[in-house]
């Protein structure tokens, strides 16, 4: 599928080169025409965000420098509407709630990233597009609610990823 007008620039943050390359490959297979930037630690992450107009950030939790959850709080402070999907090899019970409270748009275990990440990105893009096209606050609110139900249904059906989109709540 070609990249939608809502998704052109992807920032991938992980301290392992091979993981960043794999994520790029997974995303590129599903979405054509994207520009990618990469960061291997928290310092590089914030350097890239200064110059690269990211439409979405895919970030690991554990990395050199500050951890991904602390970085997420600052990202959302500077870019409140920027979707951030957090990836980790650690259990959801350990980091899922903390990630979502910090403002993550999604939380996916790395074991499931090949199957879950493209679908999560697509759902975020489609919901964002529908909300942007809404003809008023009431319509946008109904779309947010329906997208929330669809996201929840998808993720509970998969049983593997927890995606709770803060932008669907209007924050």
Distance from C-alpha of 39 to C-alpha of 109, rounded to nearest angstrom: 19
User: Which pLDDT belongs to residue 101?
Assistant: 81
User: Which pLDDT belongs to residue 51?
Assistant: 94
Q: Is 171 in a helix, a strand, or coil?
A: coil
The 10s digit of each residue's pLDDT in 40-85 is: 999 999 999 999 999 999 999 988 888 888 899 999 899 988 888 8
Annotated domain spans of the chain: 9-169
> When comparing pLDDT for 147 and 42, which is higher?
42
Give me the mean pLDDT over the 137-160 stretch: 65
The 10s digit of each residue's pLDDT in 13-38 is: 999 999 999 999 999 998 888 999 99
Residue written as token pair 């319509």:
139
Give me the mean pLDDT over the 150-159 stretch: 54
User: Which pLDDT belongs to residue 126?
Assistant: 76
Q: Report the predicted TM-score, pTM, of the whole model to 2 decimal places.
A: 0.79
Distance from C-alpha of 144 to C-alpha of 127, rounded to nearest angstrom: 7
Residue 88 near residue 62 (C-beta atoms within 8 A): yes
Q: Which fold has domain 9-169?
A: Rossmann fold (3.40.50)
């Amino acid at each position: 599928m070609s990249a939608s007008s809502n998704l052109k620039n992807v920032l991938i943050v992980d301290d392992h080169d091979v993981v960043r390359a794999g994520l790029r490959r997974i995303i590129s297979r599903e979405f054509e025409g994207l520009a990618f930037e990469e960061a291997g630690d928290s310092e590089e992450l914030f350097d890239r965000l200064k110059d690269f107009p990211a439409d979405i950030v895919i970030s690991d939790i554990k990395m050199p420098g500050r951890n991904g959850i602390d970085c997420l709080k600052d990202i959302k402070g500077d870019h409140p509407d920027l979707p951030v999907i957090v990836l980790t090899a650690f259990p959801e019970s350990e980091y899922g709630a903390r990630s979502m409270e910090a403002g993550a748009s999604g939380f996916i275990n790395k074991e499931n990233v090949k199957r879950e990440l493209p679908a999560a990105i697509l759902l975020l893009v489609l919901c964002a597009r529908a909300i942007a096209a809404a003809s008023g606050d009431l319509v946008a609110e109904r779309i947010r609610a329906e997208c929330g139900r669809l996201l929840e249904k998808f993720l509970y059906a998969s049983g593997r990823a927890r995606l709770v989109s803060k932008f669907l709540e209007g924050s």
